[in-house]
Amino acid sequence: MQKKTVKDIMTTDIATVTLKDNVYEIAVLMAKNDIGFVPVVDGKKLLGVVTDRDLVVRGYAEKNEGSAKVEKVMSNDVTTITSDTTIDEAAKLMAKNQIRRLPVVDNGNLVGVVAIGDLAVRDKFEDEAGDALSKISEKDLTTAGK
């Protein structure tokens, strides 16, 4: 039986921003789309990502204004996968790196995003996918009060 790949479960309709956008515009986009993660692109090339946490920690906590450039808050060191990555491999990578979302990049272009929720709502593919979800959730519970 052929293993399912992230191409089978990834989201392809992704809200993105460019380096021309600012912190306020990212926050509005997140609120409008009820999301906490936005890839930063140049055309289709992935440059980085901004999470709701990035906005708080690097944006507001460092007293950057709403007009601050995307570069002030975005993460450049982004873990990515390709669309032919198995769901099992993606789940293991998410657990190992304690991340909830993985940009899917083929030939340098952003083609989708796999989120922890994509793994959670699908049929049980591999035991590792469930383990990944448990490990990430456990970390959230242990760090919630800190």
User: At 70, which CATH number?
Assistant: 3.10.580.10
pLDDT digits (tens, 9 = 90+) for 32-56: 999 999 999 999 999 999 999 998 8
Q: Is residue 1 part of a domain?
A: no
pLDDT digits (tens, 9 = 90+) for 94-131: 999 999 999 999 999 999 999 988 887 555 544 555 56
Measured between alpha carbons, how far is 73 from 57 in angstroms, rounded to an integer? Answer: 8
For residues 93 and 81, is the Cβ–Cβ distance under 8 A?
yes
User: What are φ and ψ of residue 45, in 5° steps?
Assistant: -75, 125
C-alpha dihedral sign at 72, 76, 81, 83 = positive
Tokens of 5: 């790949």
Q: Is residue 97 part of a domain?
A: yes
For residues 71 and 42, is the Cβ–Cβ distance under 8 A?
no
64 residue type, one letter: N
Q: Is residue 139 part of a domain?
A: yes
Q: Domain count of the chain? A: 1
Range of the domain at 36: 6-143
CA triple 105-106-110, angle to 5 deg: 40
For residues 13 and 57, is the Cβ–Cβ distance under 8 A?
no
Tokens of 120: 């959670």
